[in-house]
Structure 1
């Protein structure tokens, strides 16, 4: 079965906002202070999923990536550049700056359901998109690269305890100064009443 996977850089206290500093927030750039080995290449272990899946990006993330990735030519960058990309935006119309990009024409959750019926969907950054998918229980897996930084403030991945869901830890792996944590959505497990 195809999956929706969320990819995020995150601090120890759950902040996902401005990991590279491009948004100019006071604590921005926190992921890149730990050196290139923590952020370079396929740190999220996507591998061939980039070849067969679809990337889903919000407008802001797509605009940032479309300025960075097309000029890169290493193996991982080539996979990013040739991957199918879907952009969730109500205002963006021209996505010619990055190969294989398409603006989502319909309602986001319906389009994601349609895409997932055909292939894996990988959401990178794009916190607003991720929150919408979380609200509609459409995220199957989280791959979080956790950095040893505490900001105390900023936009977080998990914000609403009312929408909390149990997750199952699948793996943990050190990558430079960070740790890659992979979680899956837990299936409902029936309660067993004993005597």
Structure 2
């Protein structure tokens, strides 16, 4: 079965607004982290906004990473988009959790959710995320859109953690399934 792996850039206080994460230089360790993700990836699952941002820039990028990234199948969760220009891509039909359950049963490598915070949050709520990979920047933003929504609790098991020389922490978690109470009949 394919895994759904969410990958996000966040601040130390959990804000996932990548445009506000500044002041830390990209380095070879981050390159390696992203290359490892790409090597493990069989497809991307993107929300409308992330798809449009990526489609507006990635097709013009060149080089080995860009070629492999652009060639990945893209599944797009959107109720407003009609056409997808960044190929190969397809719009998901029906309820997102149902569509992702079907994708997980299909053929191919793991499915990575890049950015697309609302999509990631909905998949977490439905127990469809197998791993969460965070590149945590050494700064607190104090406000903004959090990766984990206020009021929601998610039990996580640490899979790995590494500190990069630029101060970024690469942390991987596995969500722990919520236990259901046994009620004898």
Q: If the length of structure 2 is used for normalisation, what is the TM-score?
A: 0.85
- The offset of 1:103, in angstroms, is 1.1
Aligned pairs (5 A) from 1:154-193: 154-174=144-164, 176-186=166-176
Name the CA distance, whole Å, in 1 between partners of 2:172 and 2:122: 20
CA RMSD of the aligned region, Å? 2.2
Partner of 1:193: none
Q: Identify unmatched segments of 5+ residues in structure 2.
A: 180-185
Judged with a 3 Å threshold, the aligned counterparts in structure 2 of structure 1 residues 94 and 166 are, in CA distance, closer, same or farther, namely: same
Aligned length: 176
Partner of 2:50: 61
Which deviations, in whole Å up to 9, do the C-alpha atoms of 1:10-33 show, x marking residues without a partner? Answer: 00000002x13xxxxxxx2x24x2
Structure 1 contact 10–144 (Cα < 8 Å) conserved: yes
Partner of 1:192: none
Matched, 1:4 2:4: yes
Judged with a 3 Å threshold, the aligned counterparts in structure 2 of structure 1 residues 138 and 56 are, in CA distance, closer, same or farther, namely: same
Q: Identify unmatched segments of 5+ residues in structure 1.
A: 21-27, 190-195
Judged with a 3 Å threshold, the aligned counterparts in structure 2 of structure 1 residues 57 and 39 are, in CA distance, closer, same or farther, namely: farther
Name the CA distance, whole Å, in 2 between partners of 1:145 and 1:136: 23
Structure 1 contact 38–178 (Cα < 8 Å) conserved: no
Q: Secondary structure at the match of 2:37?
A: coil
- The offset of 1:162, in angstroms, is 4.1
Name the CA distance, whole Å, in 2 between partners of 1:166 and 1:175: 25
- The offset of 1:75, in angstroms, is 1.5
Which deviations, in whole Å up to 9, do the C-alpha atoms of 1:137-175 show, x marking residues without a partner? Answer: 111101100001110001111124443223233232426
- The offset of 1:2, in angstroms, is 2.0
User: Which is further off, 85-94 or 68-77?
Assistant: 68-77
Name the CA distance, whole Å, in 2 between partners of 1:129 and 1:10: 16
Which deviations, in whole Å up to 9, do the C-alpha atoms of 1:161-192 show, x marking residues without a partner? Answer: 44322323323242633121111124679xxx
From 143, 149, 165, the equivalent of 1:153 is 143
Q: If the length of structure 1 is used for normalisation, what is the TM-score?
A: 0.81
- The offset of 1:123, in angstroms, is 0.4
